[in-house]
């Protein structure tokens, strides 16, 4: 059974794109998922389907018929999980480098979702639909570190809202190529699909979203800089794109950095070190820190001081 929602557009909301308007309602839709349902004809005005680019007008009465999440065609796998925290609403998991978060073409086994299905059974949230149960946010395959998982839709909605309003704490550490001139700074540049290579993201004004990354130098080495990065927004590949934009790609990044491999690194040297959020049920702020993994400390140990 689909869930049917009715929304009346206020004067303050007039002029918003339909996909943005829907993502701002308290029904747990990301903008990309709202766009998907609009494209499938699930959102109507006076019985007629609308396009994602429709600008809502004050007084519009919209009907959204949101289908139930489709059944998973992904098998549970008894893969060990490094669980930092767990309660009846959520998990905080320390993801290893090399693990894909959710299944996709070419990666239908060995993912975090496969492991979660085995560990949690059917208690994960279903808001993200097919093959993303419980996944509130994600980190790249070759990025290690902390990730939060929602066990129910209540927790998922509240956590997703914190990400949307940028009250979610996400601090990463990385080693980047070259010597950053400033000891600290901010990259405030929009990110969207690369205009030529659609598998990549880029700093671009076209079809992009605002993206803000704060950086601080921790240590300087010959040819590399060890930095701490705090996300204000959470765009796809944000840190990797912003650091490459500065001329200092993340060490070992084969997509945005030099093609020549870095000895001792398989993929980018990037670790999600700190995660903080307000617990959806208790209202208490919680923060967790992950130790640097062996691949990261091992790489630092090989670098030479200037």
SS3 170: strand
The two three-digit tokens of residue 269, written as one number: 């040297």
Domain boundaries, the chain: 3-66, 69-163, 170-272+295-302
Q: What is the pLDDT of residue 130?
A: 54
Residue 278 in tokens: 């307000």
Distance separating alpha carbons of residues 236 and 190, to the nearest angstrom? 11
Architecture of domain 3-66: Roll (3.10)
Under DSSP, the state recorded for 72 is: P
User: How far apart are alpha carbons 113 and 105 in whole angstroms?
Assistant: 14
Stated pTM of the model: 0.78
Q: Do domains 3-66 and 69-163 have the same CATH topology?
A: no
Residues 6+ apart with CB under 8 A from 186: 212, 213, 214, 215
Residue 74 confidence (pLDDT) = 78
Class of domain 170-272+295-302: alpha beta
Average pLDDT over residues 36-53: 90
Q: Mean of the pLDDT values across residues 243-266?
A: 92
Task: Render 82-109 in DSSP notation, one character per residue.
Answer: -EEEE-SSEEEEEEPTT--SS-BTTBSS
- The residues that bridge with 125 in the sheet, in sequence order, are none
Q: How far is CA 81 from CA 7, 115, 272, in A?
A: 41, 7, 16
Query: Is the confidence at residue 71, as pLDDT, over 60?
Result: no
Mean pLDDT of the chain: 90
Residue tagged active-site, from 19, 60, 89, 140: 140
Who has greater pLDDT, 153 or 32?
Answer: 153
**Cα angle 41, 42, 46; round to 5:** 85
Pick the CATH number of 69-163 from 3.30.2350.10, 3.10.20.30, 3.40.50.300, 1.10.530.10: 3.30.2350.10
What would the two tokens of residue 260 be?
């020549």
pLDDT class for 207, splitting at 50, 70, 90? confident
The yes-or-no answer on residue 142 being catalytic is: no
Give me the percent of the chain exceeding a pLDDT of 70: 95
Distance in angstroms (rounded) separating the CA atoms of residues 147 and 144? 9
What confidence tens digit (pLDDT) does each residue in 72-122 have?
A: 577 889 999 999 999 999 999 999 999 999 887 677 789 998 999 899 887
pLDDT tens digits along 109-158: 899 989 998 998 877 877 666 556 788 888 999 999 999 999 988 898 89
Between CA 149 and CA 135 the distance in angstroms is 5
């Amino acid at each position: 059974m689909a869930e049917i929602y009715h929304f009346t557009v206020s004067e303050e909301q007039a002029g918003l794109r339909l996909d943005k308007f829907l993502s701002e309602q308290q029904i747990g839709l990301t903008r990309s998922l709202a766009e998907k349902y609009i494209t499938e004809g699930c959102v109507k005005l006076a019985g007629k389907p609308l396009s994602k680019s429709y600008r809502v007008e004050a007084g519009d009465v919209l009907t959204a018929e949101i289908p139930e999440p489709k059944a998973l065609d992904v098998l549970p796998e008894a893969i060990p999980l490094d669980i930092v925290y767990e309660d009846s609403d959520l998990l905080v998991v320390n993801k290893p480098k090399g693990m894909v978060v959710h299944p996709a073409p070419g990666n239908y086994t060995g993912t975090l979702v496969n492991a979660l299905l085995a560990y949690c059974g059917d208690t994960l949230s279903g808001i993200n639909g097919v093959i993303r149960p419980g996944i509130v946010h994600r980190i790249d395959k070759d990025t290690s570190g902390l990730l939060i998982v929602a066990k129910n839709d209540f927790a998922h909605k509240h956590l997703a809202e914190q990400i949307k309003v940028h009250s979610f704490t996400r601090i990463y550490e990385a080693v980047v190529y070259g010597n950053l001139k400033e000891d600290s700074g901010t990259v405030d540049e929009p990110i969207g699909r690369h205009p030529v290579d659609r598998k990549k993201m880029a700093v671009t004004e076209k079809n992009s979203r605002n993206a803000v990354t704060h950086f601080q130098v921790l240590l300087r080495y010959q040819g590399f800089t060890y930095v701490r990065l705090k996300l204000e927004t959470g765009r796809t590949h944000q840190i990797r794109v912003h650091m490459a934009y500065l001329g200092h790609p993340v060490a070992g990044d084969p997509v945005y950095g030099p093609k020549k491999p870095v000895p001792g690194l398989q993929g980018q040297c990037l670790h999600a070190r700190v995660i903080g959020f307000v617990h959806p049920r208790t209202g208490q702020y919680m923060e967790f820190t992950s130790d640097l993994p062996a691949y990261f400390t091992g790489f630092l140990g090989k670098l030479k001081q200037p």
